[in-house]
Amino acid sequence: MVCMWRVCHWGSVFAARLQRKDCGSRLAGFLFRYSSTKTAPQIPGMQYQDAICTLNTLQTNASALEQVRRGRSHPQLQLQAMKSFLERVGLTVEDLDHLNIIHVTGTKGKVMKSGSTLLFCSSPHLVQVRERIRINGQPIGKELFTKYFWQVYGRLEETKEAHGGTMPAYFRFLTILAFHVFLQEKVDLAVIEVGIGGAYDCTNIIRRPWVCGISSLGIDHTPILGDTIEKIAWQKGGIFKPGVPAFTVKQPEDAMAVLRERAKEIGCPLWVCPELEDYHADCGPLRVGLAGQHQRINASLALQLSQTWLQKRCLPGRVFEFSMGNPFNPSPIMVKALADTEWPGRNQTVKHGAVTYFLDGAHTIRSMQACVDWFIDAAAQHERKASGPVARVLLFNATGERDSAAMIKVLVPCHFDFAVFCPNITEAISSCNADQQNFNVSVENMLTRCLDNERSWRLHTSRADSNGSQLLIEDSLPLVPENKAETLVFPCILSALQWITQGRDSAVADSAKMVLPVKPSIKDKAAPLRDAAEIHVLITGSLHLVGGVLKHFDPVSSK
């Protein structure tokens, strides 16, 4: 599996490759996806959904983040807590030394896969939590997840009283679970993605990675990482280890200076990746399957990390065939991997008849600008092929403490006919999939955030003279007086999609799904959507929003 890295911003992804008998087959396994024949016995009475519901009880993200903020001046306390949880499970940091790890961090861009190769992994998960722990590019199977989940959770539960009743928070638990899975499955390579930052992140318990990588940096998670690019770079550089090679893409000058200083202090050799155009492939210019210039930058990082690991792992003690940090001649399989790379939820286009969806989980100002650049170009290409008028719709949501108003401002030049807002709730009625439940924020707060986003959109589009908006559901109490602007707020993803598509996409128009009644005045607003030859929908602002949409597109796989 050739690794194409996308180093994330929230919640880690853990990817690994099953071990082979010799270096040659390991290399083949790294370049090609391998299907394991191993099956895990199902623990009686403990089903997958039971495991997910139990996992969700650890969703103390808000309080956990506050603990991180309070402990920033005492990072060793955070790492010591992680060591304690590991020991309760029966693991030690010395055990982690036996994993061959590539440790990655950054703000935008990270890991991997495509066709017959390892894919850019998504973090947080889009549809199912199993996406966060992958073996050979594929999310860990439900049976295997269930088996290992209860092993880890059971040991922590048994030792809880002796440790003041403490249990690890959601992400920390998943990190421990990933370590346990990889050790039990004896993987040959483990790609570990930082959750938030680096220096204080629970994945930084790793002592001896084979190589480290830092993708493009931007402003995100400022309450934890700091409000300047220099502070964020300092945090990201915390994953550097003495003598371990590290790579980064070109960064803003101030950030680059901090990374170089961190590397010098720690004793870590640091290289800046070359431009993708500088590589010398026998087939000519390298092509990347993902749209956007920033993906070409990430591809170069992936090539450097992959080649370094392959050289160190399979040619120990021998002189490297390439000069680290310099362009080299990628193998044919590396070339194919770059071209075949897919990344659900990022620069992804899905066409369902007359409705075309453009999905991108951008949620920082920099990544939103990249999203806009991609959308304007991609939508224009589709519009040139349309048989008549095209209606453009924005479906947006943002979570946490991110500056949604600034992101909305970046989106204005896309010239949408409608701007639609909804919370990251897949369906307002009926039971939701446990994988996508979030207990860290109330429904009221989510809807209030949507209304704030709607007002920001009207402000940025010179419609500030409007009197406000209301939740567009019949028989509901208006939060503020109704207005006639082309902005709408819906209570869930399904209701928003059903209004946008106006029955023209069977994937969301299933009559078996309960539909919330919409006011007649709102139905009238949809006339341009019904009359248009095609409807183009950009879905962005939150990976959770994108994941909720994808769940409706393929409900069978999300069960």
Known binding-site residue numbers for ATP: 346, 360
Known binding-site residue numbers for Mg(2+): 123, 193, 221
Sign of the C-alpha dihedral computed for residues 145, 151, 156 and 157 taken in this order? positive
Known binding-site residue numbers: 123, 193, 221, 346, 360
Q: Per DSSP, what are the bridge partners of residue 189? A: 17
Gap between the Cα atoms of 457 and 438, Å rounded: 26
Gap between the Cα atoms of 327 and 386, Å rounded: 41
Within 10 angstroms of residue 524's Cβ, the number of other Cβ atoms is 8
DSSP structure string for 349-392: EEEETTEEEEEE---SHHHHHHHHHHHHHHHHHHHHH-SS-EEE
Gap between the Cα atoms of 546 and 123, Å rounded: 12
Q: Residue 331: phi, psi to the nearest 5?
A: -70, 160
Reported for 80-85, long-range contacts at CB under 8 A and 24+ positions apart, including other chains, are 82/172, 82/175, 82/176, 82/202, 82/205, 83/205, 84/163, 85/156, 85/168, 85/172, 85/176
Q: Which of 154, 145, 180, 184 is nearest to 48 (CA)?
A: 145
396: helix, strand or coil: strand
DSSP structure string for 25-63: HHHHHHHS--------PPPTT--HHHHHHHHHTT--HHH
Place of tokens 């819906």: 490
Checking DSSP bridges between strand 487-489 and strand 418-421, what pairing results, if any?
parallel
Task: List CB contacts of 545: < 8 A, sequence separation 6 or more.
Answer: 361, 395, 396, 397, 422, 424, 493, 539
Gap between the Cα atoms of 262 and 257, Å rounded: 9
